[in-house]
Structure 1
Amino acid sequence: MGRGYTIFDTALGRCGIAWSDAGLTGIQLPEAREIETRRRLFRQFPEAREQRPCSNTELAIKGITAMLRGQAVDFSDVALDLTGVTPFNQRVYEAIRAIPRGETRSADELAAELHVPGALNSIAQALTKNAWVLIVPCHRVREVGNGLDSSSPNSGIISKRRLLSLEGARPHAGLTLFDAFLAADRRQAS
């Protein structure tokens, strides 16, 4: 079959997905226009040709469309093509896939779970290289300052906050400067 891609409809717009014989190679959530979604997918996977999805890809598409309607989805049976992904990034992605729907972890918590304190920069780099948005739900990882209004890699126009709200999560808001002073005053008063 080689390398393929397809564009498909979801409740939030037209998404793209690419695959190889080994598994999914990437997902692109909707951009403002379908042509932009196609361009971004083609830039990442220029060797892929538009074709009918295989069964693994069909399973992923079914899950993605359900997830973007706010339904709970289990992607554990979806095979990913991890060719070229470093062992460290594979560990990060595995840990992220284990974060339950509707929950978040800070990058610090993820580093502690992986037993690599101080590896925040490496974790951040792994997040930016995540080609499997939703299946490797990097939107569940809060960055420094929480970054919930930023876009996830390959998430097109959909913010992390939007993805979390679809999961029913209550994202942790970052402390404002006022909140930090208020908390410090309360600690001093007690």
Structure 2
Amino acid sequence: MRRGYTVFDTALGRCGIAWSDAGVVGVQLPEAREIETLRHLFRQFPEARELRPPPSIEAAIDGIAAALRGHDVDLTEIDLDMSDVAPFNQRVYDYVRQIPRGETRIYDQIAAHLHVGGALHSVANALAKNPFPLIVPCHRVQGAGNGLDKASPHRGIISGRRLLALEGALPEAGLTLFDALLVVDRARAAH
């Protein structure tokens, strides 16, 4: 199956996306430099070639860019190619995709929903390996100690706290200056 990739501009930097005929196979959110974004994308999808995105991928790109501007977009209709994703991880991702914008869950809730008691470590591992950030909004899932500022390999330099702030899920108190400015920018854009 042929895979393509492209990079695209967003309000927070250049993102990358890779796809197959079945759908998106991965998303790389911005790193500090575009070359790092590409390096992460190539490491994960070395067989992908730079191609013009088909209409379904263009729609995914538009949705990701809008979400990174703080707009309320529904990314659940984006087709994902999970042929290389472990079955348990697929179940986790399917559940996480249904978490409403601006809401959060904890690992325990996901494990309970999947009827796999004591699977906190497995849920955490699945989310750490999430190749579809934003489309599978793993930033809406928190572990003990909340972990909102933890790095994720596909989230680039964008923290979970910043993504939740874009969604309006965090109170302005306690945010970093950058995150507080995003909340203000989002509020201005709404008016």
On whether the aligned pair clears a TM of 0.5, the verdict is yes
Shift of 1:15: 0.3
Percent sequence identity over aligned pairs? 68
**Match of residue 162 from structure 1:** 162
**Match of residue 137 from structure 1:** 137
Q: Which runs of 5 or more structure 1 residues have no equivalent in the other structure?
A: 172-190
Aligned length: 172
Contact 1:133/1:153, CA 8 A, preserved across alignment: no
TM, length-normalised to structure 2: 0.87
Structure 1 SS opposite 2:82: coil
**Match of residue 182 from structure 1:** none
Deviating beyond 6 angstroms after TM superposition, the runs of 4 or more aligned structure 1 residues are: none
Q: Give per-residue Cα distances to partners, 1:67-90, cap 9 Å, x unaligned.
A: 000001111221100102222111
Contact 1:105/1:140, CA 8 A, preserved across alignment: yes
- CA–CA distance in structure 1, aligned partners of residues 92 and 109 of structure 2: 12
The CA RMSD over aligned residues, in Å, is: 1.4
- CA–CA distance in structure 2, aligned partners of residues 69 and 148 of structure 1: 19
Whichever of the two has the greater Rg, that structure is: 1
Alignment of 1:99-138 (within 5 A): 99-138=99-138
- CA–CA distance in structure 1, aligned partners of residues 68 and 20 of structure 2: 24
Task: Give the letter for the 2:24 counterpart.
Answer: L
- CA–CA distance in structure 2, aligned partners of residues 142 and 3 of structure 1: 32
Shift of 1:153: 3.5
**Match of residue 7 from structure 1:** 7
Q: Which runs of 5 or more structure 2 residues have no equivalent in the other structure?
A: 172-191
TM, length-normalised to structure 1: 0.87
